[in-house]
Structure 1
Amino acid sequence: MKILVDLHTHTMASGHAYSTLSENAAAAARKGLRLLGMTDHGPSMPGAPNLYYFGNFSILPQTLSGVRILPGVEANITSHEGELDIPLRYLKQMSIVLVGLHVICYPGGNSEQNTQAYLKAMSNPYIDIMVHPGRPDFEMDLEKIAYTSAQLRIPVEINNSSLGQEKGGAWGNCSYFARNAAKYGGPVVLGSDAHFWDRVGVFNLALEITEEAGIKEEQILNYSPDRILDYLTQRREQRSLIDM
């Protein structure tokens, strides 16, 4: 299976990544990708950009190295109520909004608290994709997350970076989530979570997990640019009804 879209990548602006947007786009082009998400961390992450950075996306070109760019954010959940570190007026400007839990940005909690924080963020109409639920830092009800994803039709990421040796303990959680995603039929995306250009478009471990779990190709939204762009268009049409 050839994945043509990587929606989860970071630039030097995130504070702990090491490549520029141009370097990431050039790497994406070399690997045959056609669509690239630029999703630097929200401002509660140490070293991340301030809100002014996210308000200046209009200056960016639509394509770099022949690859279409989706400027956005990996917003941080900051409370048990699923609050985010990006104000609504900035969320409305994003081409793509990813949301996840990070140790230094979220107060932590038990499985029920963490699950509810994740699900409350998932129900926010101004988010697009929930990311890396399988990391061992936060115990969560991964079956409930997979079920809710299918009900709301909000994709949840299978994160390739989480499956590497440096993220010990994530494989079992991610595999369990993937089996439940296959069971309930919810949408998923595969993300590299690249923090250096050579990891852009790297999905080998995430693909292994999805194949083992029996996730169908039609469930993977970033299989093609058209599929993910159609989804993002639908999300914005739904939001326009809320904003009326």
Structure 2
Amino acid sequence: MRLEADLHTHTIASGHAFSTVREMAEYASFMGLKMIAITDHGINMPGGPHEYYFSQIAGLPPSIYGVEILKGVEANIIDGSGNLDMPVRLLHGLDIVLAGFHADTGYQEGTVEQNTGALIAAINNPYVHIISHPGNPEFPVDLEKIAQAAKAAGKALEINNSSFYLSRPGSTPRCNQMARIAARYETMISINSDAHSCFGVGNFENALEAAEKAGIKPGRILNTSMALVHEYLTSLRHGLKKIS
């Protein structure tokens, strides 16, 4: 299986990453990708971007080194109602919004029930497109309920490649479990690198293996096709317009 897009990457703007947008795009081109999303952390992340960063990101070129650039954020879930650390006026201007739990950004780790409720609320937040690393054991959730909620909302859950070898220790069993549950419910999945340097862009090996072993169909993996990514985002934006 080949992926055309990497929808979760971080630049030096995140404060704990190591490459520029240009370097990320250049390496994505080298890796044969057609699209990347620049999804630096939301404004509550220690050392992360200021609001001004997200008000200016629209000025990036639509394509660099022949790679389409989506301008986005990995926002932080800050409460049990699925609210994010990003003002709505900034979310409106972004191409793609990932949301997830991160320590020291506003959300206090709760019980499985509380974490599950918060994540389902984020799934149903109309500005959110993808839930990032839901297999994180630091914020345990009921993966069955999460997969069902994402399926009902038409949202994608992420299988995060970095979770298997670098970030969020202990994630592997839960990521594999989530992959199996997602396959059963045919929940949409996004397989991403979560690269914090250009050298991680397009690194999907472990996450792809988990998806394939779980029997997730290629048509249920969002970034198998750049066209599918566009169709997905357009559909969700259409739903947001209806709500507005």
- Pairwise same-fold verdict (TM > 0.5): yes
- 1:19-38 matches, cutoff 5 A: 19-38=19-38
Any idea what SS the aligned residue of 2:73 has? strand
Q: Match for 1:103: what amino acid?
A: A
Any idea what SS the aligned residue of 1:41 has? coil
| Residue aligning to 1:186 | 187
Give 1:201 deviation, angstroms.
0.5
Instruction: Indicate whether 1:13 and 2:13 are aligned.
Output: yes
CA distance in 2, matches of 1:210, 1:89: 35
Instruction: Indicate whether 1:236 and 2:228 are aligned.
Output: no
| Residue aligning to 1:71 | 71
Instruction: Indicate whether 1:102 and 2:93 are aligned.
Output: no
CA distance in 1, matches of 2:75, 2:113: 21
Give 1:2 deviation, angstroms.
0.9
Any idea what SS the aligned residue of 1:37 has? strand
CA distance in 2, matches of 1:87, 1:165: 30
Equivalences, count: 243
CA distance in 2, matches of 1:191, 1:58: 22
Any idea what SS the aligned residue of 2:203 has? coil
- Structure 2 CA distance for partners of 1:33 and 1:81, relative to 1, 3 Å: same
- Structure 2 CA distance for partners of 1:225 and 1:240, relative to 1, 3 Å: same
Which 5+ residue runs of structure 2 have no aligned equivalent? none
Q: Match for 1:175: what amino acid?
A: N
Greater shift after overlay, 5-14 or 234-243? 234-243
CA distance in 2, matches of 1:145, 1:23: 35
Q: Match for 1:136: what amino acid?
A: P
Any idea what SS the aligned residue of 2:40 has? strand
Give 1:167 deviation, angstroms.
3.4
CA distance in 2, matches of 1:24, 1:149: 29
Which 5+ residue runs of structure 1 have no aligned equivalent? none
- Structure 2 CA distance for partners of 1:95 and 1:166, relative to 1, 3 Å: closer
Any idea what SS the aligned residue of 1:99 has? strand
CA distance in 1, matches of 2:141, 2:63: 38
Give 1:124 deviation, angstroms.
0.7
| Residue aligning to 1:59 | 59
Q: What is the CA deviation profile of residues 134-189 of structure 1, one whole-angstrom value per residue up to 9, with x for unaligned ones? A: 01111110111111111111000000001115532111100111110001011000
Q: Match for 2:63: what amino acid?
A: T
| Residue aligning to 1:221 | 222
CA distance in 2, matches of 1:32, 1:220: 18
Q: Is contact 2:138–2:168 with CA below 8 Å preserved after alignment? A: no
Any idea what SS the aligned residue of 1:28 has? helix
CA distance in 1, matches of 2:156, 2:61: 27
Give 1:58 deviation, angstroms.
2.6
Q: Is contact 2:6–2:36 with CA below 8 Å preserved after alignment? A: yes
CA distance in 1, matches of 2:240, 2:167: 38
CA distance in 2, matches of 1:81, 1:102: 16
- Structure 2 CA distance for partners of 1:45 and 1:183, relative to 1, 3 Å: same
CA distance in 1, matches of 2:145, 2:108: 21
- Let me know the Cα RMSD of the aligned residues: 0.9
Q: What is the CA deviation profile of residues 196-232 of structure 1, one whole-angstrom value per residue up to 9, with x for unaligned ones? A: 1100000000011001111111100110100011100
Q: Match for 2:240: what amino acid?
A: R
Q: What is the CA deviation profile of residues 114-136 of structure 1, one whole-angstrom value per residue up to 9, with x for unaligned ones? A: 11111101101111111100011
Aligned-pair identity (%)? 47
CA distance in 2, matches of 1:108, 1:168: 16
Q: What is the CA deviation profile of residues 68-97 of structure 1, one whole-angstrom value per residue up to 9, with x for unaligned ones? A: 000110000011222100011111110000
Any idea what SS the aligned residue of 2:25 has? helix
| Residue aligning to 2:212 | 211
